Structure 1
């Protein structure tokens, strides 16, 4: 089951901007990439470093600690296998950005999907 959490107004996150939000003590970063909002867990799966200040090239985010790269659309590392980060569905509802927090099993399914795609 998922919870729908409003995290701000649609128009407050312009193209190219990012925003960190805290939900239930968890840090989540939203990115506006070419008008599409992506949300990820603000913790690198390698060592837990914050990803909020990572270098963004298109939809690929580099971890500022060790340079690991992740596709914001899938959470997967480009190429074969590798680690994956948690992504969250985001949608606009009545002028607000709403993040869907899935049950804990969803992140396990996402990690398996990254490995199956490689």
Structure 2
């Protein structure tokens, strides 16, 4: 069963920015890259470090702890499809933004 979380308007990041969200017991990072929104689990799959504050290059986020780089669109570690961070689809309905979580 899916949960549609409505992102509060003040938490929708502007272009080039990011926001931190807590949905129930999960922590998410929401990024706005050239008007496209990406939502990921904030925990690096390597050892759980926060990805929210990582270095952002295009649609790639770099983990602060060990330097691993993940594609925000796929969640995959650069150059690998076997190690990835959880990504969540974004839905837009009029002016509202929803993150779809399973």
**TM exceeds 0.5?**
yes
1:112 maps to none
Structure 2 residues not aligned, in runs of 5+: none
Structure 1 residues not aligned, in runs of 5+: 103-118
Distance in 2, matches of 1:57 and 1:11, equals: 21
Does the aligned pair in 2 maintain the 1:89–1:99 contact within 8 Å? yes
1:93 maps to 93
Residues 90 and 64 (structure 1), Cα distance of their counterparts in 2 relative to 1, 3 Å cut = same
Distance in 2, matches of 1:81 and 1:6, equals: 29
Normalized per residue, the structure richer in strand is: 2
Which one has a bigger Cα radius of gyration? 1
The residue correspondences of 1:69-88 to structure 2 (distance < 5 A) are: 69-88=69-88
Does the aligned pair in 1 maintain the 2:12–2:19 contact within 8 Å? no
Q: Tell me, yes or no, if structure 1 residue 4 matches structure 2 residue 4.
A: yes
Q: Report the aligned-residue RMSD.
A: 1.6
TM-score, normalising length from structure 2?
A: 0.92
TM-score, normalising length from structure 1?
A: 0.80
